[in-house]
């Protein structure tokens, strides 16, 4: 696949640098989350932004035939994850009464790590049907883009008020 060829053209040091920068952009995304909630952006729109960045990052990553493209896709995906994680956690906590937030945080954390465990199993299962791991990642990228569009469209409909996130 293109990503494999792109990464093989780089040194292990370059690949490690790209990986490290990607992890840093998750942290940058979480810092950007603070600005977004201060701007009073509604949760569905925050999630749409996060899923758009994650999905676009994966699609760019898979479509790339250069280290530059792989880097851009990885960084965009990392920033989206950095926005998504605190949005989901804060949204979850804001719906729970104060006396249940410890339990909620524990359940959220357990779910997060269960997802980390199940992810490679799901990707490998899907990979058998879509031409390999790159194909599976591409499917997830496009699914995230679709979910982002649906979430954004749904954010413009009138619904019952949601709890406001603390800024």
Contact yes or no for 2/134 (Cβ under 8 A): yes
Contact yes or no for 57/141 (Cβ under 8 A): yes
Tell me which residue has tokens 């790209």: 18
The pair of structure tokens assigned to 126 is 């899907």
Q: pTM of the entire structure?
A: 0.84
Q: What is the DSSP letter of 163?
A: P
Contact yes or no for 73/140 (Cβ under 8 A): no
Structure confidence at residue 163 (pLDDT): 57
- Please write the tens of the pLDDT for every residue from 134-149: 999 999 999 999 999 9
- The arithmetic mean of pLDDT across residues 48-74, rounded, is 93
- The arithmetic mean of pLDDT across residues 91-115, rounded, is 92
Structure confidence at residue 157 (pLDDT): 81
By C-alpha distance, which of 87, 122, 120, 92 is closest to 105? 92
- Sequence-ordered list of residues with C-beta below 8 angstroms from that of 80, at least 6 positions apart, any chain: 29, 49, 50, 51, 52, 53, 54, 55, 56, 57
- Please write the tens of the pLDDT for every residue from 120-132: 999 999 999 998 9
Checking if the pLDDT of 96 tops 60, the result is yes
Structure confidence at residue 8 (pLDDT): 61
pLDDT band at 67 (very low <50, low <70, confident <90, very high): confident
- The arithmetic mean of pLDDT across residues 36-62, rounded, is 93
- The arithmetic mean of pLDDT across residues 83-111, rounded, is 91
- Angle at 84 (CA atoms; ends 86, 112), nearest 5 degrees: 75
């Amino acid at each position: 696949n293109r990503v494999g060829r792109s990464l093989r053209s780089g040194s292990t040091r370059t690949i490690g640098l790209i990986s490290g920068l990607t992890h840093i952009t998750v942290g940058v995304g979480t810092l950007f989350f603070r600005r977004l909630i201060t701007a009073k952006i509604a949760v569905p729109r925050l999630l749409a932004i996060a899923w758009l960045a994650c999905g676009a990052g994966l699609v760019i990553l898979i479509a790339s035939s250069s280290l530059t493209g792989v880097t851009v896709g990885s960084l965009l995906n990392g920033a989206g994850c950095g926005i998504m994680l605190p949005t989901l956690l804060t949204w979850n906590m804001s719906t729970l009464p104060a006396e249940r937030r410890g339990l909620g945080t524990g359940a959220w954390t357990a779910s997060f790590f269960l997802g980390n465990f199940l992810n490679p199993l799901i990707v490998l299962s899907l990979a058998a049907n879509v031409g390999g791991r790159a194909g599976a990642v591409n499917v997830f990228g496009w699914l995230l883009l679709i979910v982002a569009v649906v979430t954004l469209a749904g954010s413009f409909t009138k619904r019952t008020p949601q709890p406001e996130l603390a800024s």
